[in-house]
């Protein structure tokens, strides 16, 4: 039985939705088949999003969306050398 963390119940509040998505993304980053250095970089990025979430939920949501898009390979920011 899972401990009651307030995140397992469906909530309509933006804070609860963001918390659930942060938790799911942390699990995803932890399980990625990448080098330790890459995992650390992603974990630091996620930690920065968590810090922003304390003050600005909409901005944290936008940054989390960007991180998830990166993990999904759907980001549109060119890598170095891809600028035209």
Instruction: Provide the pLDDT for residue 74.
Output: 75
Q: Which residues of the chain have pLDDT under 70?
A: 1-11, 75-84
**Does residue 79 sit within a domain?**
no
Domain count, the chain: 1
For residues 76 and 33, what is the distance between their CA atoms, to the nearest angstrom? 22
**Does residue 24 sit within a domain?**
yes
**Does residue 26 sit within a domain?**
yes
Q: pTM to 2 decimals? A: 0.74
Could you tell me if 29 and 39 are in contact, meaning their C-beta atoms sit under 8 angstroms apart?
yes
Instruction: Provide the pLDDT for residue 8.
Output: 54
Could you tell me if 15 and 57 are in contact, meaning their C-beta atoms sit under 8 angstroms apart?
yes
* Domain boundaries, position 57: 14-72
Residue 67 in tokens: 């991180």
**Does residue 5 sit within a domain?**
no
């Amino acid at each position: 039985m899972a401990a009651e963390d307030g995140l397992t119940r469906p909530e309509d509040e933006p804070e609860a939705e963001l918390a659930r998505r942060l938790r799911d993304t942390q699990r995803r980053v932890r399980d990625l088949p990448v080098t330790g250095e890459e995992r650390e970089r992603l974990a630091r990025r996620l930690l920065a999003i968590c810090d922003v979430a304390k003050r600005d939920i909409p901005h944290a949501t936008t940054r989390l969306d960007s991180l998830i898009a990166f993990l999904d390979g759907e980001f549109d920011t060119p890598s170095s050398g891809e600028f035209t």
